Amino acid sequence: MSQPHEERFMQKIDAEEKIEPKDWMPAAYRKNLIRQISQHAHSEVIGMQPEGNWITRAPSLRRKAVLLAKVQDEGGHGLYLYSATETLGITRDELIEALQSGTAKYASIFNYPTQTWADVAAIGWLVDGAAICNQVSLQRTSYGPYSRAMIRICKEESFHQRQGYEAMLAMARGSAEQKQMAQDALNRFYWPALMMFGPHDAESAHSAQSMTWKIKRETNDDLRQKFIDQTVPQIEFLGLDHPDPEIQWNEERRHYDHGEIDWEEFYNVIKGNGHANRQRLSHHIHAHEEGQWVRDAVNAYNKKHKAARNKAA
């Protein structure tokens, strides 16, 4: 027979009430949340690298200002999400250690290189587009701090998606070479963007439990289908070719049928063998070490002021 606190917990979940940091929660709920939210935070922070790579090479001052703001927003998203994870009783140091040692994952997409300016546009359009698809649904997640972070993040991600699509449109309507760059970026980023939603539902280790606890509100395959459906008219409007030769409207399902993802590639990337996995982590470790003096200065300042406050009290 389940315990009263477990019953109360499930009643709250069923009634769409949020679970807050000081509420009782099953240990496995806490563990699963720490895993998902921290991996989400790591994705935002590691996700700054592929686009950050282009800040000094943006084609105009306007594009550079927009890109700088966008990359900075992603860092901010990481910080909200780390804070949300910390409310579950884990420290920032432990989270960073898990990322840097490879124990914790981050989104597979960020292990693909950004070879041309059109890749930056494709990331805004497709990667932020896929991220929003998922995050809109996560605004209704059952854990209060995660849900509130998602509401704020979604507002910024929609701007990111639009700026990416607008940059893609400029390329697609530009010279023949620019249009070709746009097509090439679409071809390379389309399939990895679909992989962002995770394995098929039948293969997804966490989905069933996460759906019961309303940590996740829609399954990997349902969200992926939503993204596939919304992307078809966007590709048409750009005047580009769809990278999936099997894409076809299915009147009965009222969804697009599509080709299969290369799952071998997906598992290879999440195991650490993607094009840029090693580079992404070593860059993070280097930047973290370089920032040690900032953390030392903040800690020294806090210590000094705490001592002064205690003396005054």
Other C-beta atoms closer than 10 Å to the C-beta of 50 total 21
Q: How far apart are CA 29 and CA 20, in angstroms?
A: 12
Binding test (CB under 6 A) with ligand FAQ, winner from 39, 116, 163, 225: 39
* 226: contact with ligand FAQ by CB under 6 A: no
Nearer to ligand FAQ, 84 or 127 (CB): 127
Other C-beta atoms closer than 10 Å to the C-beta of 113 total 13
Residue with tokens 């949020």: 18
Binding test (CB under 6 A) with ligand FAQ, winner from 38, 134, 231, 277: 134
* 210: contact with ligand FAQ by CB under 6 A: yes
Q: Which amino acid is at 263?
A: W
Find the binding residues for ligand FAQ in span 264-303 (CB under 6 A).
Answer: 270
Q: Is the dihedral of CA 212, 216, 218, 222 positive or negative?
A: negative
Q: Say how many residues touch ligand FAQ, by CB under 6 A.
A: 29
Near ligand FAQ by CB under 6 A, which window of 10-18, 55-63, 197-205, 272-280?
A: 197-205
Find the binding residues for ligand FAQ in span 48-87 (CB under 6 A).
Answer: 74
What are the residues facing 255 on neighbouring strands?
A: 250
Exposure string over 74-90, b if 16+ CB within 10 A, otherwise e: beebbebbbebbbbbeb
* 43: contact with ligand FAQ by CB under 6 A: yes
Binding test (CB under 6 A) with ligand FAQ, winner from 85, 114, 142, 207: 207
Binding test (CB under 6 A) with ligand FAQ, winner from 195, 238, 240, 281: 195
Find the binding residues for ligand FAQ in span 17-36 (CB under 6 A).
Answer: 35-36
Angle 36-148-70 from CA coordinates, rounded to 5°: 80
Least distance in angstroms from the C-beta of 188 to ligand FAQ: 15
Coil, strand or helix: which one is 143? Answer: strand
Contact call for residues 67 and 55 (beta carbons, < 8 A): yes
Structure tokens given for 95? 């989270």
Binding test (CB under 6 A) with ligand FAQ, winner from 9, 29, 80, 197: 197
Nearer to ligand FAQ, 7 or 166 (CB): 166
Nearer to ligand FAQ, 53 or 180 (CB): 53
Contact call for residues 124 and 170 (beta carbons, < 8 A): no
Nearer to ligand FAQ, 44 or 244 (CB): 44
Kind and range of the H or E run holding 255: strand 255-257
Q: Which stretches of the chain bind ligand FAQ, using CB under 6 A?
A: 35-36, 39-40, 43-44, 47, 74, 105, 107-108, 123, 127-128, 131, 134, 195-199, 204-207, 210, 216, 220, 270
